[in-house]
Structure formats: C-alpha cells, structure tokens
Amino acid sequence: GQQLNQSPQSMFIQEGEDVSMNCTSSSIFNTWLWYKQDPGEGPVLLIALYKAGELTSNGRLTAQFGITRKDSFLNISASIPSDVGIYFCAGQAIAGSARQLTFGSGTQLTVLP
C-alpha cells in the first residue's frame, strides 16, 4: 500500500519563528491535503493542492505540491501560540481504493513564548 513519510516528527520553536515540514510518498498522488488537529478534536483541513508545482497560501500558511507528485511541503510564517497542534499531510490518488486518503504520521508543533 501507499506510505507517507512526514517529518519532522516534532518541533519546538519560539513564537515568531517560521516553521517548515514535509511529506514524501512512495507513489504518486493527484491531491495533497494538509490538516491541523488540536487535542480532543478531529483534523481540520488547512490547505488543498491539486497540481504538481502548485503553491497555495492560506494566511500565514503556504503549501506546495512537489513537481514529482511524490512530496509536499507546508510552511508556517511568524508562528503564534495558537499554531500549537499536530499537522498532518494526506494524499489522494484517483484510481480504485487509492482514492481514499493516506495520512502521514503527523508533526507535533510546540510554540514557546
């Protein structure tokens, strides 16, 4: 089956710093999604990417769909305390059961004041 490697596993940063995390896949995806999950809550969609090379922003968040279609990156600029949480990438292909989402293992972000 498809596998997603997400890194780093955890990050401790100072408030105001920029953050970068990424996902790589063993196979090609047609859609990349990035989610944030707060404690005791379900994942919430942050950004969706549909084309290789696409760069999309949502406020202080910027995500890119890698040109090989096997990777994606998420950047958070000028971090604030409410950015704390777990960030997940997820990929979707278009054929058969691969239309389901495959999630990465998450990046736990801690923002220190």
Partner 1 sequence: EAGVAQSPRYKIIEKRQSVAFWCNPISGHATLYWYQQILGQGPKLLIQFQNNGVVDDSQLPKDRFSAERLKGVDSTLKIQPAKLEDSAVYLCASSSKIWVHTEAFFGQGTRLTVV
Applying CB under 8 A, which residues contact partner 1? 4, 6, 31, 33, 40-45, 48, 88, 90, 92, 97, 99-101, 103-106
**Shortest reach from residue 41's CB to partner 1, in Å:** 6
Given the complex with partner 1, which of 31 and 72 has the nearer CB atom?
31
Nearer to partner 1, 19 or 46 (CB): 46
Beta strands per DSSP E along 1-112 = 4-7, 10-14, 19-25, 31-37, 44-49, 55-58, 61-65, 71-76, 85-92, 102-103, 107-112
Residue number, 13 or 98, with CB nearest to partner 1: 98
* Dihedrals phi, psi of 92, to nearest 5 degrees: -135, 130
Q: Please give the Cα distance from 38 to 106 (Å, whole number).
A: 12
Closest approach of partner 1 to the CB of residue 113, in Å: 26
